[in-house]
Every structure is written in C-alpha cells, then in structure tokens.
Amino acid sequence: MANNAADKSALKLKRLQDMTVKGKKVLVRVDFNVPLSKAGKVEDDTRIKETVPTIKSLIEAGAKIILISHLGRPKGKPEAKYSLKPAVAVLEKLLGSPVAFANDCVGPEAEKAVAALKPGAVVLLENLRFHAGEEANDAGFAKQLAKLGDLFVQDAFGAIHRAHASTAGIPKYLPGAIGLLVQRELEFLDRVIGNPTRPFLAVIGGAKVSDKLGVLNKLLDRVDALVIGGGMAYTFLQAQGVSIGKSLLEKDRIQEAQSVIEKAYSKKVECLLPADHLAVREIKADAQVTVTQGMAIPADLIGVDIGPHTIEFFGEQIAKAKTIFWNGPMGIFEIEAFAKGSLAVATAMAEATQKGAITIVGGGDSLSVLAKSGLASQMTHCSTGGGASLELLEGKVLPGLAALAS
Ligand code: AMP
C-alpha cells in the first residue's frame, strides 16, 4: 500500500481539514464537466452533487468560495454552448443558498466578483477552457488564477490526471490541499488497490485498446480474473486467431493484446473474452441484429455488443467475485439495442453489491449506463474520474496530486 500513488502518506497531501479557511478567499477547482442538453440544461448533476460536501464545509467555516471548472472541449476561446452558467441553478438548489456567476475566470470580471464575496458566499467563474492557457498549463494563466485566492483546494478528481493550469499550475503559487471528494476517491481506490477482498475481478470495456493496455498489464498484477468486453475485445480475439468481420480493430496493438493474454496465463489470472456477440451490417439504431453462434463474427458484420451467452458467463464471474472494478461499456451503449451487455454488467454488479461484494465503477460511459438504468446507488462506489481512477490503478503519479505534495 505504501508504494501506490493513491496513498496519501506516500505523497504527503494536505487535506481540507488541515487548512484554516475562515475569512480567506479559497479557490476551489471542481469538476462541473456535466452533460448539457441542446437547450443548455444540465442532464446529469452527479458531478455537481459530489462537490457539495467540500463547498458546504467551506461555507460553514466562513470562507469566501471561488469555484473554477472546465466543461467540454472549447478550443481555448469562449463558446456559448460550453458555458458553466447552467450549473449555477443546480448548485443553488443543492446548497440551498445563492451562487454568483462571473463571465470570465480571470481578469476584471472575475476580480470584481471575488471582491464582492462575503464570508460563506460562493461564486462560480466561467469555463477555464475558454482560455488556451488552461490546457497548455501556461504559467501566466495559472498565476492569474492564483491571484484570485489566498488558498487552493483541489476537488476535481476527474481532472487531476491532467497537467493543466488549474491542476498542476496553481499549486505553484498558492498553498493547496485536496478537497473531500478527492480524499474520498483516493481512500477508496487505495483500499481496493492495497488490500482487496478476493476474488478481485476487473471488467474492462470501451473502444480503445491503446488507452487501456497499460492498466490491463498493471491490473494483471492485482486481480484474480479479468473480463474484457466492448470494442477493444475484438483486437484480443483477433490476436487469438478468431475472425472478427468488420469489427473495430487496432492492428498495431494485436501483439500487445497477445502479450496481455500470455501474461494472464502465466500469472494464472483468468482472462475472459466474449464468447458470442450482437453483430450488424451497419451501425444504426434500427439495424437488423444478428446473434453470432460463437466467438467468430461473419466477414460482412460488425460486433456491437456482447451476446446472450457472454452476458450469462460474465454475470457468473461477477457473482463469484468479492471486489469488482468496472470501467468501459460492453458495446455501443449509446444505441439502446446495443446497450444490453452494459446493462447486464450493471445489473450483475448491483446484485453482487447486495450480496456483500465491493463494487467500484469508474468512467463517464459506465456511469451513464448506471444513470440510465437507475443503478448508481446500488454500487459501493462510483468514481467521478474514469481516467484518474485508471491511472491510479496503473500506479501512475497524477500531476494534479504531485503538484500539491509537499
Ligand atoms: P473508451 O473511450 O475507449 O472507453 O470507449 C467508449 C466508447 O466505446 C463508447 O462510446 C462506445 O460506444 C464504444 N464501444 C463500445 N463497444 C464498441 C464496439 N463493439 N464497437 C465500437 N465502439 C464500441
């Protein structure tokens, strides 16, 4: 446990409780990167809700609270559809108190809004990514942000694996600490990484093999069984010589996929791939769906979800495990007809939780499956950071934490 990046003692991170905040201007990096409807309504407020304990604790302590966040991927300049303004009403409702808003996160607008703050009051500043300096981790931009506060609190778990101005930059110029959400996420992942109740099963899905090879390799040192589903499974099946038709394939990763399978074998970790699939000629909502007879996919078809037989035996694996970590959908879940596999995993995990297993879900897509099916509350822990939780499991030191470490 002492060696992993999620271990606070290893990184010597200050916590919110360790700071005296009364009357101080506290700059809080939150993750309000929420999905918005076309009409600009917050469609899922999970990420906002998760930051409420930190904000409430600062309100109660009489701090002046300045919230900063990113939303979406504006290209370093203002874009109305990525405004954080819709988050204000949601936050006001959750806090039961007013929240001010400033149209810019730096400069005169922001400074004026901060100067007007009374102890216990909250202001949300406009999207950090309306400035190119945020993603470029520009020192000048980080300094401008730091100028707004006396203290810094990092509570954007979903962003701490990125080296941006608001994660890696600000702590160079302001004394900082982790917020309650980051603290809870780290404690949870630490427990799982350091001392999981066994058997420990990881269920990994999604499209990109290349993104997940590192974590798969590391997970093999920790888990007892590994289930691979989603688009990335086809590269593994191809590596095993199985025909995958026109399914997603990362040709340049076949060899590495094969190495993962070999490593699993040598470590006696069960590595399970889909045994059947839902396949279509064309990816569209009303496509005619074929259930394959076995692992192979006919030459003219594309695999879009795991099949019924796979749902059953992945479910059996989940039922057998005592700790289960899930990241990534089992199919193109955005289309209802191809969401069956992901929903089945969510349901099996909910049943496992009820029987006493520890279930952890990380990653935006897996969380939307849970939100759609109403099963989120039936998991032991839903991590707000898919990328960050995977990188912690991989044993990486996250830039947003390294910057805060003393
Ligand atoms: P990732 O960002 O790598 O976690 O991948 C998430 C994406 O994987 C989702 O948008 C899914 O639609 C996609 N996905 C899952 N299964 C498949 C599949 N069989 N073929 C293509 N894309 C898939």
Domains of the chain: 2-183 (3.40.50.1260), 196-393 (3.40.50.1260)
pLDDT of residue 401: 96
Q: Which atom of ligand 1 is nearest to the CA of 334?
A: 12
How many residues in the chain?
406
Active-site annotation holder among 363, 364, 385, 400: 364
Q: Which atom of ligand 1 is nearest to the CA of 328?
A: 4
Would you say residue 10 has pLDDT above 70? Answer: no
- pLDDT digit string, tens, across residues 287-319: 999 999 999 999 999 999 999 999 999 999 999
Question: Contact at 8 Å (CB) between 59 and 92?
Answer: no
364 carries an active-site annotation? yes
Q: Which atom of ligand 1 is nearest to the CA of 386?
A: 4
Show the tokens assigned to 57.
Answer: 């604790």
pTM to 2 decimal places: 0.85
Quote the Cα angle for 161-269-293, to 5°: 100
Show the tokens assigned to 127.
Answer: 């999207």
Instruction: Decide whether any atom of ligand 1 lies within 6 Å of the 328 Cβ.
Output: yes
Tell me the percentage of the chain whose pLDDT exceeds 70. Answer: 98
184 carries an active-site annotation? no
Phi/psi at 247 (5° precision): -65, 165
pLDDT band at 178 (very low <50, low <70, confident <90, very high): very high
222 carries an active-site annotation? no
Tell me the percentage of the chain whose pLDDT exceeds 90. Answer: 83
Mean pLDDT for all residues in the chain: 94
Question: Contact at 8 Å (CB) between 50 and 156?
Answer: no
Q: How far is the CA of 319 from the centre of ligand 1 (A)?
A: 24
- pLDDT digit string, tens, across residues 141-150: 999 999 999 9
Show the tokens assigned to 156.
Answer: 């954007």
Q: Whose CA is nearest to atom 15 of ligand 1?
A: 331
Q: Nearest CA to 152 among 131, 173, 135?
A: 173
pLDDT of residue 8: 42
Q: How far is the CA of 234 from the centre of ligand 1 (A)?
A: 11
pLDDT band at 38 (very low <50, low <70, confident <90, very high): confident
Active-site annotation holder among 158, 205, 387, 400: 387
- pLDDT digit string, tens, across residues 200-253: 999 999 999 998 999 899 999 999 999 999 999 999 999 999 999 999 999 999
